[in-house]
Amino acid sequence: MRLARDMLAWFFMPKRFLFGAERTANLRVPTFETLCFIDEPDEVASVHKATGSVLLGGAGNAFLTPLLRDQSAFTLDGDRHKLARRIAGKWLTARAMQDSQPIIDAIIQQELDNWQAAGRRDIGDWSRWLTMRILCKITLGIEDQARVRRIYKRFEAATGYTANIVTYTKRFWAPRGIISTGHFVEFLVKRIDRELDQIIADGRAHLQNAPAENVLHGLIEAQQEHGYDNAFIRDNIAAILAAGYDTTGSALSWTMFWLARYTDKTADPEAFRSEVLRYCPPVEILPRRIAEHALEDACEIAPSIVSVASTSGDAGPLVCPCVHRVHHNPALYPDPERFEPNRFANQKAGSPDTYMPFGAGGRMCLGINLGKLVLDRTIALIWERNLQVQTNLRRFNPIRRNVSIWPGFVFRGRLQPAQNKEG
């Protein structure tokens, strides 16, 4: 009974694993893995250090393979992982993103106008759509909204709430006959593939007579030198779109939740964003698979593993630094349940051992500069235009949507001119 309750909670409403006193050390999800949660700062630091050798992020992300397959920056380990990061990362630097700010601002302005004109809207949908528009433009050079809408719909179909069950049920990851869940998942992913194939073909055509301008072109251009196949390009484009729109969409939704409550517009947008991502990070765990034959080493690195080592199968548990728990540790953040952007007013967010909304080390989010910029510019533009967000939720009730955490199942709101300058 308890097992079923835990499983359901993990699949859809994982709040009690993230916040509060009931901090289970481990969780067995029979359809998936035994999860070993790591939240002690020293242990988190050791796990980060061992990631890439004793602990593997790519193997830990295997649950993303139905959509991202096995050659994306997410699902790879070792040299190929470094290669994917190097090629894509070159186009996503802080400098490159700053240069793109006017384009990003223009898209945000348009979507703020659209939201204002529409009245009450589904904030999650607004956030994901805005992010998808920006990602398509910045990473693929696509701005035709009808085309972005088609890409958006294809990803929405494969990453909504029903994807939670597929993600955490291993037997659904591959087709098992024509009327299996895996077969249906494959059908949805093939529809995405058709879009991606055309995007790659267009990228090749562009490179016939123009220089590379974005991640897509960079991946195509480097193909011959590194000898990877088209699937490598496809998987990394899929990763950037899926990871980028889901996480930034969630972060934007949380931003709206807090903008509706926190009306001190003298706060700095960056400090506000840092506090949103501390309080409500979109991704709750950083899953690491123990490398083959390395269980003993892993137990030394993270003693928390010892208690579940013998009951979690040959591969051992999935080792999971727990982002929310670290961010709500009162020893690291005094009065952690208070939303207070001024914590970050005079200091940048800390080291990845204590602040990790974007992950850590060699697996640190590749889109960190783009994600931060989208959030900072959205906050700044809402404040500059003296707008006020109003939402249906007074309290949040974290809900999982595929692999990210959102403020609530029904989260709607308006964007209106503020009543007065102080809001």
Given the rule CB under 6 A, which residues bind ligand HEM? 57, 73-74, 85, 92, 139, 239-240, 243-244, 247-248, 251, 282-283, 286, 357-360, 363-367, 370-371
Q: Say whether 211 sits in a helix, a strand or coil.
A: coil
Give kind and range of the element (H or E) at residue 55: strand 55-56
- Give CA–CA dist 44/48, Å, rounded: 6
Cβ neighbors of 182 (< 8 A, separation 6 or more) are 66, 171, 172, 173, 174, 175, 176
Nearest distance, CB of residue 328 and ligand HEM, angstroms: 16
- By three-state DSSP, how is residue 107 classified? helix
Residue with Cβ nearer ligand HEM (181 or 404): 404
The CB-of-365 to ligand HEM minimum distance in angstroms stands at 3
CB burial readout 243-281, b (16+ within 10 A) else e: bbbbbbbbbbbbbbbbbbebeebebbbbbbbbbbbbbbb
Region of 20 (left: φ > 0; alpha: ψ -120 to 50; beta: rest) is left
Pick the closer one to ligand HEM by CB: 328 or 363: 363
Buried b (16+ CB within 10 A) or exposed e, 300-324: ebbebbeebbeebeeebbbbbbbbb
Distance between CA 170 and CA 388 in Å, rounded?
Answer: 43
Closer by beta carbon to ligand HEM, 139 or else 388: 139
376-397 core/surface letters (b: 16 or more CB in 10 A; e: else): bbbbbebbeeebbbebebeebe
DSSP 266-334: TS-HHHHHHHHHHHS-S--B--EEEPTT-HHHHHHH-GGGHHHHTTS-TT-PEEEEBHHHHHT-TTTSS
CB of 57 to ligand HEM, least distance (A): 5
Minimum Å gap between C-beta 58 and ligand HEM is: 7
Helix, strand, or coil here: 383?
helix
Q: Which is nearer to ligand HEM, 87 or 267 (CB)?
A: 87
Q: Shortest distance, CB of residue 84 to ligand HEM, whole angstroms?
A: 7
Cα first-last separation, the chain: 48
The least distance separating ligand HEM from the CB of residue 422, rounded to whole angstroms, comes to 28
Between 155 and 358, CB nearer to ligand HEM: 358
Whole-number minimum distance, CB 134 to ligand HEM, in Å? Answer: 8
**188: helix, coil or strand?**
helix
Q: How far is the CB of 311 from ligand HEM (least distance, A)?
A: 25
- Which helix (H) or strand (E) segment holds residue 73: the answer is none
Of residues 6 and 228, the one with the C-beta less far from ligand HEM: 228
Question: What is the smallest separation between the CB atom of 351 and ligand HEM, expressed in angstroms?
Answer: 13
Of 56 and 112, nearer to ligand HEM (C-beta) is: 56
Which CB sits closer to ligand HEM, 295 or 320? Answer: 320
Of residues 282 and 316, the one with the C-beta less far from ligand HEM: 282
Amino acid at 11: F
Q: Closer to ligand HEM by CB, 74 or 344: give it.
A: 74
Shortest distance (Å) from residue 59 CB to ligand HEM: 11
Q: Write down the least CB distance from residue 51 to ligand HEM, Å.
A: 7
Chain-centroid distance of CA 417 in Å reads 31
- What are 71's two structure tokens? 């050659």
Q: How many CB atoms lie within 10 A of CB 228?
A: 19
Between 6 and 235, name the residue whose CB sits nearer to ligand HEM.
Answer: 235
